[in-house]
Structure 1
Amino acid sequence: MTDAATSPFDDIRRLITTMPGPDEAAVEAVRLRERQLTKPAGSLGRLEWLVEWLAAWQGKAPPTVDRPLVCVFAGSHGVTAKGVSAYPSDVNRQMLENFAAGGAAINQICASLGLGFKVFDLALDMPTNDITEREAMDERSCVATMAFGMEAIAGGTDLLAIGEMGIGNTTVAAAIYAALYGGPAEHWVGRGTGVDDEGFRRKVAAVEAAIARHREHLNDPLETLSRLGGREVAAMAGAILAARLQKIPVVLDGYVATAAAAILHAIHPSTIDHCVAGHLSAEGAHQDVLARLGKIPLLALGMRLGEGSGAALAVGLIKSAAAIHRDMATFAQAGVSERLA
């Protein structure tokens, strides 16, 4: 570990202290318009809350979802050598090519919903170190990868959905959760891409070994990220931070994407106030994690695909909420009588 006095993580910590808060004036403007729309108050449930959330973190009313973007970060992991996945690491490169060819599920979701889509290759041919044997990344590499993730939104967007792809990354996510929250490894480990019972036992053993090896260095969330995480987790954490600074709300995908948010939440809970959980994954203890983060998922479809798929579907829901708020007639416009006092 780098000397704490000169830690590369100091810049990340300073950045977090400069993050803007919610725009309460924009929220109040949304609430004022909501009271005038042709519907009973509160009848659209969480769709109304979503519009307030958008306005708070975009800093404008009405909020927009005109340029939604799905970013998928792809990384590879040395821990796959321990037999923790049902698929070989060759799948990483093959899936990246599938994304480029438009053949993946996420391509179809984005096309059907009119979402922008970007994929980021995080040195796929250079796996991170095996976390059961040494730190996944050194601190400088971790910070550099976070900085790379911060550039993901350089082209501009008004709503960011983050996802990932990487054989072995549910293992590193489980290790991160075990480090942050404690408890037996079995609680945090899931079936990932569909490992059998033997594969599951290897996965649990890998998480246990990683926690045991790095135990003395897991009090700092950012060091937990560098020691147990992957490049895609670090990049997603960077993207979340950059979005906050640029007033862009964020939709989190599943178990692995939420691990990036959990790292930031462990630094300070308010760091992810501009994030919503797109869906409840069927992987691992995702529901437990979301409860700890104070996030109620928008969708619960039993998915565990990754690649931003659940977050992208949730963006479609958010687009609808914003459109209702923007285009629905008011009582005065429609000539509809308002509720009696």
Structure 2
Amino acid sequence: VIAKVARAFSGSNDMGRVGVALSLHGDGIAKLILYKTKSQVLASVVLTEANASVIERESYIQFYADDKCFWSLRFDLDADEQAIIQALRKYDLPLACDSAASSSSSPSISDQDNKPEKDVEKKTTTPQLQLQTPQPQPRARLSPNVSTTHRQSEERPLVEDVLMTPVSRAVSHSHSSNLLPLRSEEDEIHDNSLIVSKRRGDSGKEMDKQMDTILQAMHRLVSGASSSTPLKANHQITMAAGSENSHESEDELIELEQKLLNLKRENRTLLKSLRAKDQALEELRLSSSALVEKNKALNQQNAILLATMASKYEQANSSSSSCLNCEQSATLISVLKR
């Protein structure tokens, strides 16, 4: 009917990825089969029997096989799991749902139902809190032992006003506090003028010091620039000389490379000529050896002819008949011997 791929667990052993197939036979038998290959079946369960059932969990399904082994299947895709479950329901095969999943889903629904009520309660309580906020009360007088900085931080108004603050003193047994006597405006003006004159004197001295430092810095810059000009000129001269030397060395290198190429070409031509001469010498050797052999053969033939002629001459001399041309034949024989 349907076949999918899932990861199988036999008890606590991971069996890897297996094939899950739901098959229906003609006699009304339905089987759930786990297999690695077509010939290797891991487990099977007949779902039409009374005790057989498939348990649907939150993210996997479980069942007891015919060999009483407990198997768990986890599908890679939710669609594959839903396809198997829908096929089981379509053919009215035993499928049991996990109660823990349903119970875990019911509290979530109840929590979702309670959330709007809590939100409504919060919304209704916030206006009451706003209405119940207390009105500002008049501030109590501070004791004289409180410092003026703390008092200013707590009692700073929105608009800056001139306030007369009492000086903190040790608390007496009668808890009485006295204010400092106010100074006159003339005394304050006289003090301010003294402060201004002191500041002017100090500022004048500071300005003189700053001018001295600026002049010293300018003098250093001028002296540094004047001393750096001959150094720059020397540097430029050395750079120009170095550039000329580099150009000359580059030209020399180019000339040497050209000479090297020419020498290589001459060497190649000489090698070719030497090879040709070697080949000619080899040919001469071969031809000379052939001529020597021919000369040997001719010498042998000449020796044979001389021997025959000498034998004929001896036969002629030994015969009784006289030869008319004896002198001529003798001269010829001597020439041939030479």
Structure scoring higher RCO (CA < 8 A, sep ≥ 6) equals 1
For Structure 1 versus Structure 2, the TM-score category normalised by the shorter chain is under 0.3
Give the TM-score normalised by the residue count of structure 2.
Answer: 0.16
**Structure with higher helix content:** 2
Larger radius of gyration: 2
